Structure 1
Amino acid sequence: MLALSLAACSSGGEKPAESAKPGDASKSPEASKAPKQMTLKIGLPGSYDVTKKEIIDGFIAKNPNIKVELVEAPWGDFVKKIQTEIAGGTAPDIWFQENAVILGYGKRGVAEDLSGYIKKDLKQDEYISGLFAAQSSDGKVYGVPHGINPIALAYNKKMFTDAGVPLPTKDWTYQDMLDAAKKLSKDTNGDGKLDQYGFGASTSITVGWYPWTRSKGGQVLDETKSKAMFTDPKSLDGIKTWANLVKDGISPDTDFYTAAGGDWKAFASGKVAMFFMQYSNSALINKDFPNLDYDTIEIPKGYDGKRLVPMVTNSWVIFSKAKADAKEAAWEFMKYYLSEEAQTVLAKSGAALPVNKKAMTQLDTNASPKNKKAYSDGIAEAGVTLDENPSWNEWRLAAQPIYSDIYAGKLTPEEGVKQLQEKVQKVLDDNK
């Protein structure tokens, strides 16, 4: 567009538009069409070990008008200093953390509400429901997923074959799983002690006490995420079944895991035939145990006939105090990260599942587990977050030692749920 002078001439009329002079870029038609120059500071906890460099490079190549500055640090260091930076208004324009932390940022006014951006620029039917993992109860969206990390039932094929036990199917219930696990638990040394187990239970939230608490139709929190539900009879019943796995000779105790180097190593080394495995664990197993013959199937259906698939996400957040241009640039990054191109890079990495449906078809089915649809179909059918709310980190930390004591037999399930109800409800009430 030609520059137009608004100064009046001596006759009282307006001067005619001036022609752009050669070399005057500010008045050339090309200059008016040039993309806005912006600067974007991106926080990368864990650096390229967590976020693929290929994605960052792809964004930079497609957006030469956006000058990118990366803020990299090991995850723990990043998380420690981000709070100080938020308080001082010096946080990156965009970064990612645990989804529950992002919801807390939204409540505190730290995170930009993305619901308007999403409605304007994204076709929601191109994404799985996990796109809205960081949606608050009032409909605001405070982040978009860095990746989805759901769970499935992993099983060692050789151990099943050697024991003559049929392989798991997607129609299995929890009881089917435990019946098979009982047959797979053995004393291979002949010393009267089990040293091979059919199922590897866990005391952690994602693959342990959360799905088991809900396995018989119980709940951890109610739908509003403001009321603890541990003393519900169905919740107690699920916790009892989980707590009895060691006594019933189905699962090892925590000392066994300590000696084995963790639950996934106990599975990968052939000491445990099945366990609930997060998607990201496959990368560790394939690296350290490349010859392990294993696969995955959907988490069994609960005792109430319903499947429930816990999933964990880290989410990208835009700093609410960032400058307007930086927010615009940050949203451009989010759009690129959610594009089929970038999401395909994520899918092929094996680190997490994408939320873009087309990219979901690009999962590497040559690498174990071959049946990655156990994860994608699982979350499509019954994916849930871990009752995340702004106080999630606090109530989870209050619940964890109590669950650990229940599993170790230091508390009966009945005693434990009373403590869980009291302590978790206090956290919820204090954070209303």
Structure 2
Amino acid sequence: MKKRLIMAVSLLSMVAVVGAGCNSKATDGKADATKAPSDNKAAATSTPDAGKKGGKVTLRFATWDSSDLLSIQQTIAKNFEALHPDIKVQVEAYSDGFDQKLAASIGANDAPDVMYMWDFPTYYKNLEPLDELIKTDESLKVDDFYPGLFNYVKIEGKTYGMPAGFTTRVMYYNKKLFDAANVPYPKEGWTWDEFKETAKKLTNPSKKQFGFGVRAENDPYDLQGFVWSNGGSFVSPDGKTIEGFMNGKETIDVIQMFGDLVKEKTATIAGGKNQQSGDDIFKANRMAMWESGIWPLNGFKEAKIDVGTVVMPAFPGKPLKGVVSESAVSMYKNSKHKKEAWEFIKYYASSDAIKLRKSDLPVRKSVVAELKYDQDPQYQPFFKMIEKSDNTPAFLLQPKWNEINRGLTSAIDAVMQGQNAKSSFDTAVKDSMKFLK
């Protein structure tokens, strides 16, 4: 998420140079006017027969996946083609250059018909709203999706993407270290006070063992769940105000709590310059607890770590909240094949396609039940957290969030390095006010 947020900043900086190179159907100032890269050989053209080959409609589908994950996308495309013999799906692997290539293709009015999406604030003016299609297409079975996922694909009340995969964040714990210290495993319903006491008991300086790990470079996006759980937020519900929210007591107390864990040496800094990542420290049996999404679970298993997962701690008297990292598929608003694009989007959100994708969690409740993830102790907490994830993240509420986010990121990292949270966040708010004018 952080890498793509940084990319979004550079995309937004292109606004001033777009208009002159685009035709009347261009991007409303959201992308570079440069032509798409030359490796995009089968791109649709502006001729009447655009996207048709041998009587078939050719749909272009852009993904950021590569390697084994790209193979899964290609399999999904082939399976779709078998069900729709009049449609050919051309998978375009943009990989790490996803944002740059997508921006360039939109700027040239030559974007893929369907694309992976997460950064809706940057691209939504170039995407087709899906609300009416979702509402009228009973075959989609929208009630089978986790409702909170739709909070992450909306801008100004309109839906611009179909949820494809997600992860919530849970607390991983190393059972071996807990057993050695004779400390009970954490359970659902635990509090942050209990978490801190547990972390202290599992800290052993002589073994360079820590109870927890705090990232050297933090993405504010990932910390929102903790802030929401304490009753705070980085922005007001309407997205217009940061004063009293970003530097509000509820927000500051959460960030200061993590900074204090490092200061007290109950937590180690992970992932900084010349430092191991949190995943690697956890694998080395030198960290008892580590919070993350679904991504490291298989790696922990392969490293033969006796790993458990549990929902996040709660603040006393306050409802537990979570944040979601989500991928979606969207339709280009200028696609000449919207009917076919919708059929592919629906298939991508079908049970058959979802079960092929292994890098994140299923968006359909029926698939979760079929795979028995809801009965697996290691997977259960992820799905319990999605039930508590009904907030909307700041970047979807505030149009200038990319600019504001830079100062917020610096303030958070300063706190992790020992600075006072209140003064750091007051400075971040003061410096960010110019973006709200």
- Shorter-chain TM-score: what band? 0.7 to 0.9
Of the candidates 370, 389, 395, which is equivalent to residue 404 of structure 2?
395
Structure 1 range deviating more: 223-232 or 154-163: 223-232
Q: Which amino acid aligns with 1:136?
A: K
Q: Partner of 2:131 in structure 1? A: 115
Unaligned runs of 5+ in 1: 1-35, 190-194
Number of equivalenced pairs? 374
Of the candidates 98, 123, 133, which is equivalent to residue 151 of structure 2?
133
Q: Partner of 1:307 in structure 2? A: 320
CA distance in 1, matches of 2:100, 2:321: 33
Is 1:105 aligned to 2:126, yes or no? no
Q: 1:338-393: CA deviations, max 9, x gaps?
A: 111112222xx2x11121111122447699x8420100111113354532314444
- TM-score, normalised via structure 1 length: 0.80
CA distance in 1, matches of 2:319, 2:57: 49
Q: 1:243 is paired with a residue of what secondary structure?
A: helix
Q: Partner of 1:185 in structure 2? A: 203
Is 1:201 aligned to 2:214, yes or no? yes
Of the candidates 344, 347, 351, which is equivalent to residue 336 of structure 1?
347
**Pairing 1:13-28 to 2, within 5 Å after superposition:** none
Q: Partner of 2:261 in structure 1? A: 245
CA distance in 2, matches of 1:259, 1:179: 29
Is 1:271 aligned to 2:294, yes or no? no
Q: Which amino acid aligns with 1:276?
A: E
Is 1:357 aligned to 2:365, yes or no? yes
Q: 1:361 is paired with a residue of what secondary structure?
A: helix
Q: Partner of 1:420 in structure 2? A: 428
Cα 1:54–1:70, aligned 2, differ >3 Å: closer, same or farther? closer
Q: Which amino acid aligns with 1:281?
A: P
CA distance in 1, matches of 2:222, 2:90: 39
Of the candidates 233, 246, 261, which is equivalent to residue 230 of structure 1?
246
CA distance in 1, matches of 2:193, 2:371: 31
How far the C-alpha of 1:303 sits from its partner, in A, is 3.8
Cα 1:142–1:102, aligned 2, differ >3 Å: closer, same or farther? same
How far the C-alpha of 1:57 sits from its partner, in A, is 2.3
Cα 1:285–1:383, aligned 2, differ >3 Å: closer, same or farther? farther
Q: Is the 8 A contact 1:206 1:386 kept in 2?
A: no
CA distance in 1, matches of 2:106, 2:385: 37
Is 1:151 aligned to 2:169, yes or no? yes
Cα 1:375–1:366, aligned 2, differ >3 Å: closer, same or farther? closer
CA distance in 1, matches of 2:390, 2:307: 23
Q: Which amino acid aligns with 1:61?
A: A
CA distance in 1, matches of 2:101, 2:182: 54
Q: Which amino acid aligns with 1:420?
A: A
Q: 1:267 is paired with a residue of what secondary structure?
A: helix
- TM-score, normalised via structure 2 length: 0.79
Cα 1:424–1:375, aligned 2, differ >3 Å: closer, same or farther? farther
Question: What do you get for the CA RMSD once the two structures are aligned?
Answer: 2.5
Structure 1 range deviating more: 394-403 or 164-173: 394-403
How far the C-alpha of 1:227 sits from its partner, in A, is 1.8
- Rg bigger for which structure? 1
Q: Partner of 2:191 in structure 1? A: 173
Q: Is the 8 A contact 2:227 2:233 kept in 1?
A: yes
Unaligned runs of 5+ in 2: 1-54
Q: Partner of 2:386 in structure 1? A: 379
CA distance in 2, matches of 1:88, 1:103: 19
Is 1:404 aligned to 2:424, yes or no? no
Q: Partner of 2:58 in structure 1? A: 39
